[in-house]
Structure 1
Amino acid sequence: MKDLGQLTYFLGLEVHHRSNGIFLNQQKYIQDLIKLAGLAGTTSVDTPMEVNVKYKKDEGDLLPNPTHRRLVGSLIYLTTTRPDILYVVHQVSQFMSSPRRIIRYLKGSSTRGLFFPKASSLQLMAYSDADWAGCPDTRRSTTEARSCSKSSTEAEYRSMPAACVEVVWLRSLLDHLGFSQPTSTPLHADNTSAIQIAANLVFHELPSILMWIVTIFERP
């Protein structure tokens, strides 16, 4: 092993050290994707996805060749520094649709990335959100839900424990890296009814009591 100096580039990830923080982006990686897709001569677009588009499994243009499938995998890696395309990439990979529009969007925004200020807080914060019956084929939420929700409140409430699972894993990872979280991690959601359900301890204590009663009556 040898010291190569300050990190500036690693596996397509560009690291820019500034006086007030660190900026991460993948501009060269995006340019390679544009060439691979053959879209160097096309114009850019302002959004990664058309407005009010709902992907269906039996509609749209399927990926015509292995190159386009490779593009989808590359876009998934690109979400490391471009969380703004995460939802669209998830939809494209799920329905195996053409990623051409996303790449045209990236062409006009290749310099964007993530900035980590030097004075920023190291406290972990979580955000939870979900749509309701977003998939036109199954009427499930498009956030990898396994069951159908009867209301938007239920869909939002189901996404909150899923976010909590990720929080537990991230807290453990940060602790392993030496960035332990001394305080609890706040979880932000935008559905008032789901927040009220989560804040009411009766909804959480009652199932535990019922399970305790069932366990007692099942004893020999």
Structure 2
Amino acid sequence: MILMVSLQHTFEMKDLGSLSYFLGLEVISTVDGIYLSQAKYALDLLAQARITDSHTESTSLEPNVRFTPMDGIVLDNHTLYRQLVGGLVYLTVTRPDIGYPVHVLSQFLLTPRTTHYAAVLHVLCYIKGTLFHGLYFSACSSLSLQAYSDADWAGDPTDRRSTTGYCLFLGDSLIFWRAKKQTFTARSSTDVEYRALADTTAEVVSICWFLADLGASQSSPIDFL
């Protein structure tokens, strides 16, 4: 409250009360913590794709599937594919579980094909079955940082590059995640893992600096898993 009064003296602003909805992001605050979701935004995506039946998927992507730029037939209209993938990119704000498939499908925006579009519909059907999944930040969580890192080897069948995936937890709360194709083609699985670990370490260092600025310095070694 003191901060709000101070800001009002400096900036022209209004107090709209507790945040509950902003740009498709739904916020539920309790004494135990904060829950973030994008259920309404996800419903709008489903309506845009005209998914109205009760069919859902248990996974965001078929296991061991690999896509190439030559799969299927070129779509007559690329616009819908690009709109849906763009919407899925924004949905990853609270849905880290679709981060990898969205990363993969974003690589075919230039010339999407029927196989790629079918995969987008698969992701949307998965979202329909997990509509209220989101992020929860507990008020009782510890402030110890943990990092998880992994990578495939030559997972892309076109350029044989590998994909790095990592996420960071502050106590029980997930605060950062990324799935990204590596810049260079690795010669071995060991090289891939070292590159993934290096990227994760760089992010951990940045987060540690940020936490230190907030007065939550990490006094113990960071757990890498």
What's the TM-score once normalised by structure 2's chain length? 0.76
Match of 2:222 among 156, 166, 186: 186
Partner SS state of residue 125, structure 1 = strand
Match of 1:57 among 62, 69, 72: 69
Matched positions, count: 188
Match of 2:191 among 154, 166, 185: 154
Match of 2:30 among 9, 13, 18: 18
For residue 185 of structure 1, report the CA deviation from its aligned partner: 5.9
Match of 2:141 among 120, 131, 135: 120
Separation in 2, partners of 1:118, 1:37? 37
Q: Which moved more, 1:179-188 or 1:32-41?
A: 179-188
Separation in 1, partners of 2:41, 2:14? 26
Matches within 5 A, 1:16-55: 16-41=28-53, 43-55=55-67
For residue 136 of structure 1, report the CA deviation from its aligned partner: 0.9
Partner SS state of residue 14, structure 1 = strand
Alpha-carbon contact 1:123-1:185 (below 8 Å) kept: no
Structure 2: where are the runs of 5+ without partners? 1-12, 110-115, 165-180
Separation in 1, partners of 2:72, 2:217? 45
The sequence identity of aligned pairs, in percent, is 44
Matches within 5 A, 1:80-99: 80-96=93-109, 97-98=116-117, 99=120
The two structures, once aligned, show a CA RMSD in angstroms of 2.0
Deviations 1:18-72 (A, max 9, x none): 3321111110010000011111235111111112201112114656331220111
Q: Which amino acid aligns with 1:75?
A: L
Alpha-carbon contact 1:37-1:68 (below 8 Å) kept: no
The structure with the largest helix share of the pair is: 1
Rate the CA distance shift 1:37–1:174 in 2: closer, same or farther, 3 A: farther
Separation in 1, partners of 2:219, 2:85? 38
Alpha-carbon contact 2:26-2:37 (below 8 Å) kept: yes
Q: Which amino acid aligns with 2:80?
A: T
For residue 184 of structure 1, report the CA deviation from its aligned partner: 5.7
Q: Which amino acid aligns with 2:31?
A: S
Rate the CA distance shift 1:179–1:10 in 2: closer, same or farther, 3 A: farther
Rate the CA distance shift 1:124–1:53 in 2: closer, same or farther, 3 A: same
Q: Which runs of 4+ in 1 moved over 6 A?
A: none
